[in-house]
């Protein structure tokens, strides 16, 4: 690109030269440009071939002779000099690229003819020498000085620059020339001259080039001259440019803060970012600035300068640089004082903590151990979490010194902890605990917090401060993310609880609460660290505490934890846990789980006999209670199964009797009578003296009856009667009567008669049931055809009713009438069986007695007034008299009577029979008259039939039937 520009410049010069030197004129007759025809020209962009500066220079050298005027030749020579400089620089660059490892000395030894700077110098000198008077040669002097400088002729370069600034003090190139002069003067040690040269540049202001470098070198020059206070000003000005200090708060802002009572926050220093080059300059500036202050009064000079000239945002860096200088010089006390000076003068500055921390580092490097520890304590007091500084500082400001604060707190805590371990004094442990606590308050989330918390707990434990030790160990064990000391700390918390309870008086009102806390902490440990070797024993102790507190529910849960531990707890503790769990579930009435647990417990061979017996009883109770629940839920079949399972699992359990009994009742409800009978019979056999045994016969009787085994049902009822005869006669009476009825139903007539008779003889009252039993005896003896015994019990019906008194009822009256009537029928039969034979007197007397006896019985029946038997009894009375009259007439005749005597005998018989016949007619008529009362039955009808025979003229009249007409004519 540069070669292209040079070629263009050369072309322009040649064109201008050609125009200026041509004086030839052309005739108007010859063709001109205007005579050319217009043509469209298409311009295509093309790239010019790069031309080196050296080739252009050769063109210039050939063209110089063509220029006719001095000005043209001077301009061409100027171009030649510039091109010579460019060509030389190009060659130097090419040589460095071809041999990049050539050192500076070899580069400086390159032949001057090759570099051609001398040629440029000669051209510039020729230009200056040949220039007309009054010409402005400032640029030529500047370029000549540059050529001298590049060719290594430093003195000539400086002389040329001096000439330039002298001849052209306000010229265009004077500003840079002064800067170059300053550089040359500084290099040759003419610092006074350098100060003047740099001062000229600085007057132009910071907006001009070379200002920063001139300011830097101006300060250095003053430093070299020993003008340290003036050098300080330059360096501070330079630093101000790199790190500008914000303007101070206005009075209005300060007034607003006072009004709102706000606290000015300490914020982190917002230093601007700089380039690596700038950082190097900044670092060097701080170094020389520190050297300047060192040559004055050190840290006091720094303090005084900023007090007088205003504080800077980077002020701490100046103190630090001064301190680092002292450290380099091994002036440790001075270095520490420099750091400390800043903190003392700026106690609330964001960097005050860091500077104070460096005081400590300096003391350590300098070998002042006695000063280190006290200053660390001072550091924590000034900048720690309880300080005014911390309260005002923003998180960013705190972060700037948090590492130093953390380290100091750790070292203080460890120092005093080690000291306390030597003295064993509680107060010394207290000092160590103070530093541990402050660390944790300051850095609660730090990665070192768990370790520091653990050490705090150990310190408190050693000081016998068990309550706070508990808190710290628990915090260490549970409140941090997982760490190496967590499990150990959690266990130490439990040890602290134990030690605290050991010293706590037994009657202390808070003791119960502390036992509960220990149990809670132990459970927490077990859940967090189930695999710990101490966990089983810890949980076992928890159970003891929970049972002491009456926390059965808690004890159950803890026992489960022991049971479920992985790896398993020792066998003894597992068995103890199972026993606790089983007892707890039993107490909670969680019968299913209790059964499972007790079953497990009963497998333990270590159980004592009394323990085993107790758990067997509890197991039976669990099963029984499950049956109760099922029964309450209406799941009867399952309930019966559970009840029966009691005996199957624990045959000798005290609750088995109730279980079997309840099972039998449910089986009866479910109508599973055969199973119920089996259970009931077993119950009576197993528990003959049990209170419930008395009710077994009734249930068995019911069950046997339902299965159709009435014999066995009756047997059970007899048993009931026998059992309750004295204690519950009513039940006994009912059972006996029911037993008799069942024997009767089963066809066991003799057995039924036996029980009915026993009922009648054993229970005279009440009369009603007794007469029913008598009635049954009448029927049963009738079935057997035993008329005598039947007659006996028929009479008992009559006698019992007659003696019943107030207990007489319609039923007893009916039964009495029944007895009287059917008893009379027997007498009727007896009467009818007596035949009148000779001697008639004897047989007649006998038959008449039978007549009277039967008539009396029938009369009694009629007197009872029971219509069912009254007409029959009346009819039978009439029949007795009719038959008696008839038997007289049909009686055996005496032997040996002649016809007349026989006739007289028969007349005599008629006289004897007629009254009885008349009586019979009268009785029959009485019976027939009942029709007037609407009574008609077979006995009334039979009475009519008898009357038709006895009095045919009146009663033997056939009914006349007439046709009837159902139409009206």
Confidence band for 948, pLDDT divided at 50, 70 and 90: confident
pLDDT per residue over 788-842, tens digit each?
Answer: 898 899 888 888 989 989 988 989 988 988 888 888 888 888 888 888 888 878 8
Q: Which of 260-264, 362-366, 682-686, 935-939 has the lowest mean pLDDT?
A: 260-264
10 Å CB burial of residue 945 (0-12, 13-18, 19+) is middle
What's the average model confidence in pLDDT over 498-504?
93
φ, ψ for residue 418, nearest 5 deg: -60, -40
Output the pLDDT for position 7.
Answer: 39
Query: Is it the case that residue 6 has pLDDT exceeding 80?
Result: no
10 Å CB burial of residue 252 (0-12, 13-18, 19+) is exposed
Output the pLDDT for position 73.
Answer: 63
264: Cβ contacts below 8 Å, ≥ 6 apart: 257, 392
Confidence band for 914, pLDDT divided at 50, 70 and 90: confident
Output the pLDDT for position 900.
Answer: 82
More confident residue, 627 or 821: 627
**CB-CB contact of 96 with 26 (8 Å):** no
Confidence band for 961, pLDDT divided at 50, 70 and 90: low
What's the average model confidence in pLDDT over 11-22?
37
Output the pLDDT for position 917.
Answer: 79
Output the pLDDT for position 55.
Answer: 64
Confidence band for 743, pLDDT divided at 50, 70 and 90: confident
In whole angstroms, give the CA distance from residue 793 to residue 773: 10
Confidence band for 733, pLDDT divided at 50, 70 and 90: confident
In whole angstroms, give the CA distance from residue 247 to residue 862: 146
What's the average model confidence in pLDDT over 939-956?
74
CA distances from 464 to 414, 468, 489, 497, 927 (A): 19, 9, 16, 11, 123
More confident residue, 437 or 895: 437
Output the pLDDT for position 574.
Answer: 94
| Cβ-defined contacts of 437-444 (< 8 Å, 24+) | 438/380, 438/384, 438/385, 438/386, 438/409, 439/406, 439/409, 439/410, 439/413, 441/385, 441/386, 442/384, 442/385, 442/405, 442/406, 442/409, 443/402, 443/406, 443/409
In whole angstroms, give the CA distance from residue 532 to residue 488: 10
Output the pLDDT for position 449.
Answer: 94
CA distances from 189 to 224, 284, 766 (A): 9, 19, 156
What is the average pLDDT score of the chain?
84
Confidence band for 474, pLDDT divided at 50, 70 and 90: very high
Output the pLDDT for position 965.
Answer: 47
More confident residue, 24 or 746: 746
In whole angstroms, give the CA distance from residue 526 to residue 538: 8
Count the helix, strand and coil residues of the chain and give each as a percent rounded to the nearest 5: 75, 0, 25
pLDDT per residue over 425-459, tens digit each?
Answer: 999 999 999 999 999 999 999 999 999 999 999 99
Handedness of CA 657, 663, 666, 670 (dihedral sign): negative
Output the pLDDT for position 16.
Answer: 34
Output the pLDDT for position 847.
Answer: 83
What's the average model confidence in pLDDT over 94-123?
57
Does the pTM exceed 0.85?
A: no
Nearest 5 degrees, angle CA 296-CA 299-CA 305? 70
The fraction of the chain above a pLDDT of 90, given in percent, is 43
Output the pLDDT for position 103.
Answer: 47
pLDDT per residue over 565-601, tens digit each?
Answer: 889 999 999 999 999 999 999 999 999 999 999 999 9
Query: Is it the case that residue 109 has pLDDT exceeding 60?
Result: no
1: Cβ contacts below 8 Å, ≥ 6 apart: none
In whole angstroms, give the CA distance from residue 320 to residue 325: 9
More confident residue, 20 or 140: 140
Output the pLDDT for position 26.
Answer: 38
pLDDT per residue over 259-306, tens digit each?
Answer: 554 445 566 566 678 788 888 888 999 999 999 999 999 999 999 999
Output the pLDDT for position 10.
Answer: 37
646: Cβ contacts below 8 Å, ≥ 6 apart: 620, 623, 624, 627, 653, 655, 656, 659, 660
Output the pLDDT for position 644.
Answer: 95
362: Cβ contacts below 8 Å, ≥ 6 apart: 323, 327, 332, 335, 336, 339
The fraction of the chain above a pLDDT of 70, given in percent, is 85
> 529-538: b or e for each residue (b if 16 or more CB lie within 10 Å)?
beebebbbeb
Out of 389-403, 656-670, 831-845, 911-925, the most confident range is 656-670
Q: Where are the beta strands (DSSP E) in 868-918?
A: none
pLDDT per residue over 49-91, tens digit each?
Answer: 565 656 666 666 666 656 656 666 667 667 777 777 776 766 6
Confidence band for 957, pLDDT divided at 50, 70 and 90: low
What's the average model confidence in pLDDT over 178-200?
93
Query: Is it the case that residue 19 has pLDDT exceeding 50?
Result: no
Helix orientation angle between 787-802 and 767-784, rounded to the nearest 10 degrees: 170
Output the pLDDT for position 4.
Answer: 40
More confident residue, 72 or 32: 72
More confident residue, 532 or 928: 532
Confidence band for 11, pLDDT divided at 50, 70 and 90: very low
Q: Which of 120-129, 528-537, 550-559 has the lowest mean pLDDT?
A: 120-129
Query: Is it the case that residue 148 has pLDDT exceeding 80?
Result: yes
Query: Is it the case that residue 112 has pLDDT exceeding 60?
Result: no
Output the pLDDT for position 5.
Answer: 39
Output the pLDDT for position 492.
Answer: 96
Output the pLDDT for position 63.
Answer: 61
Handedness of CA 345, 348, 349, 352 (dihedral sign): positive
What's the average model confidence in pLDDT over 889-894?
78
Query: Is it the case that residue 603 has pLDDT exceeding 80?
Result: yes
What's the average model confidence in pLDDT over 159-180?
90
Confidence band for 9, pLDDT divided at 50, 70 and 90: very low
Residue 634's SS3 state is coil
In whole angstroms, give the CA distance from residue 388 to residue 172: 59
Output the pLDDT for position 401.
Answer: 86
Query: Is it the case that residue 554 has pLDDT exceeding 70?
Result: yes
In whole angstroms, give the CA distance from residue 82 to residue 51: 15
């Amino acid at each position: 690109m540069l070669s292209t520009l040079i070629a263009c410049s050369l072309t322009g010069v040649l064109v201008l030269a050609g125009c200026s030197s041509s004086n030839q004129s052309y005739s108007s007759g010859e063709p001109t440009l205007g005579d050319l025809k217009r043509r469209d020209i298409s311009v295509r962009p093309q790239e010019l071939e790069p031309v080196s500066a050296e080739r252009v220079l050769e063109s210039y050298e050939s063209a110089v002779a063509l220029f006719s005027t001095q000005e043209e030749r001077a301009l061409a020579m100027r171009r030649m000099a510039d091109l010579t400089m460019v060509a030389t620089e190009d060659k130097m660059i090419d040589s460095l690229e071809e041999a990049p490892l050539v050192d500076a000395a070899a580069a400086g030894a390159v032949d001057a003819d090759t570099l051609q700077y001398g040629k440029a110098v000669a051209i510039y000198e020729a230009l200056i020498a040949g220039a007309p008077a009054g010409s402005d040669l400032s640029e030529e002097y500047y370029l000549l000085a540059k050529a001298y400088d590049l060719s290594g002729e430093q003195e000539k370069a400086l002389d040329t620059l001096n000439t330039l600034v002298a001849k052209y003090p306000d010229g265009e190139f004077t500003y840079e020339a002064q800067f170059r002069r300053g550089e040359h003067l500084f290099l040759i040690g003419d610092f006074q001259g350098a100060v003047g040269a740099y001062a000229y540049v600085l007057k132009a202001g910071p907006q001009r080039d070379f200002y920063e470098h001139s300011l830097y070198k101006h300060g250095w020059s003053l430093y070299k001259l020993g003008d340290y206070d003036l050098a300080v000003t330059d360096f501070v000005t330079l630093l101000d440019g790199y790190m500008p200090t914000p303007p101070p708060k206005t009075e209005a802002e300060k007034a607003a803060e006072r009004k709102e009572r706000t606290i000015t926050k300490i914020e982190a220093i917002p230093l601007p970012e700089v380039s690596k080059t700038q950082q190097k300059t900044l670092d060097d500036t701080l170094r020389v600035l520190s050297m300047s202050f060192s040559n004055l009064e050190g840290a006091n000079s720094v303090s005084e300068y900023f007090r007088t000239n205003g504080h800077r945002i980077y002020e701490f860096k100046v103190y630090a640089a001064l301190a680092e200088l002292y450290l380099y010089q091994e002036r440790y006390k001075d270095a520490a004082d420099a750091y400390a000076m800043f903190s003392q003068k700026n106690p609330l500055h964001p960097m005050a903590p860091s500077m104070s921390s460096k005081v400590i580092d300096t003391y350590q490097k300098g070998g002042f151990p006695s000063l280190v520890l006290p200053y660390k304590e001072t550091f924590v007091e000034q900048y720690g979490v309880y300080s005014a500084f911390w309260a005002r500082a923003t998180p960013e400001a705190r972060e700037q010194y948090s590492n130093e604060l953390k380290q100091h707190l750790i070292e203080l805590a460890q120092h005093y902890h080690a000291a306390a371990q030597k003295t064993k004094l509680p107060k010394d442990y207290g000092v160590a605990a103070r530093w541990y606590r402050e660390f944790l308050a300051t850095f609660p989330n730090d990665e070192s917090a768990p370790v520091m918390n653990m050490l705090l707990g150990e310190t408190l434990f050693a000081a016998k401060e068990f309550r706070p030790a508990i808190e710290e160990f628990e915090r260490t064990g549970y409140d941090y993310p997982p760490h190496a000391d967590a499990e150990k700390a959690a266990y130490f918390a439990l040890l602290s609880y134990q030690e605290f309870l050991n010293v706590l008086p037994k009657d202390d009102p808070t003791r119960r609460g502390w036992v509960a806390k220990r149990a809670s902490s132990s459970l927490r440990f077990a859940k967090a660290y189930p695999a710990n070797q101490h966990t089983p024993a810890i949980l076992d102790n928890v159970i003891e505490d929970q049972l002491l507190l009456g926390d059965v529910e808690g004890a159950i849960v803890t026992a489960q934890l022991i049971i479920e531990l992985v790896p398993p707890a020792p066998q003894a503790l597992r068995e103890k846990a199972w026993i606790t769990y089983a007892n707890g579930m039993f107490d909670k009435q969680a019968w299913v789980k209790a059964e499972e647990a007790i079953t497990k417990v009963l497998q333990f061979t270590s159980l004592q006999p009394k323990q085993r017996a107790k758990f067997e009883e509890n197991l039976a109770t669990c099963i029984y209670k499950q049956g109760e629940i099922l029964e309450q839920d209406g799941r009867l079949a399952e309930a019966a199964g559970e009840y029966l399972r009691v005996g199957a699992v624990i045959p000798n359990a005290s609750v088995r009797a109730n279980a079997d009994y309840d099972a039998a009742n449910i089986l009866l409800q479910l109508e599973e009578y055969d199973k119920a009978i089996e259970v009931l019979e077993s119950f009576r056999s197993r528990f003959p003296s049990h209170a419930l045994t008395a009710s077994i016969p009734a249930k068995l009787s019911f069950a046997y009856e339902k299965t159709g085994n009435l014999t066995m049902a009756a047997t059970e009822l007899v048993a009931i009667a026998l059992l309750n005869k004295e204690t519950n006669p009513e039940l006994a009476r009912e059972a006996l009567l029911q037993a008799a009825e069942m024997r009767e139903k089963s066809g066991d007539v003799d057995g039924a008669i036996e029980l009915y008779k026993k009922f009648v003889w054993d229970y005279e009252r009440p009369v009603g049931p007794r007469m029913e039993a008598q009635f049954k005896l009448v029927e049963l003896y009738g079935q057997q055809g035993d008329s005598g015994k039947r007659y006996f019990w028929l009479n008992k019906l009559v006698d019992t009713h007659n003696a019943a008194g107030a207990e007489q009822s319609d039923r007893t009256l009916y039964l009495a009438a029944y007895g009287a009537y059917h008893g009379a029928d027997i007498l009727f039969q007896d009467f009818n069986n007596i035949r009148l034979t000779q001697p008639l007197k004897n047989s007649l007397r006998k038959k008449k007695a039978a007549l009277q006896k039967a008539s009396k019985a029938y009369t009694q029946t009629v007197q009872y007034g029971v219509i069912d038997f009254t007409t029959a009894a009346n009819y039978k009375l009439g029949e007795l008299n009719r038959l008696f009259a008839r038997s007289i007439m049909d009686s055996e005749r005496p032997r040996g009577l002649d016809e007349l005597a026989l006739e007289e005998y028969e007349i005599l018989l008629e006289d004897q029979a007629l009254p009885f016949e008349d009586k019979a007619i009268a009785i029959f008529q009485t019976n027939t008259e009942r029709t007037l009362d609407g009574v008609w039955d077979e006995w009334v009808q039979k009475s009519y039939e008898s009357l038709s025979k006895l009095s045919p003229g009146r009663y033997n009249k056939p009914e006349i039937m007439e046709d009837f007409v159902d139409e009206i004519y």
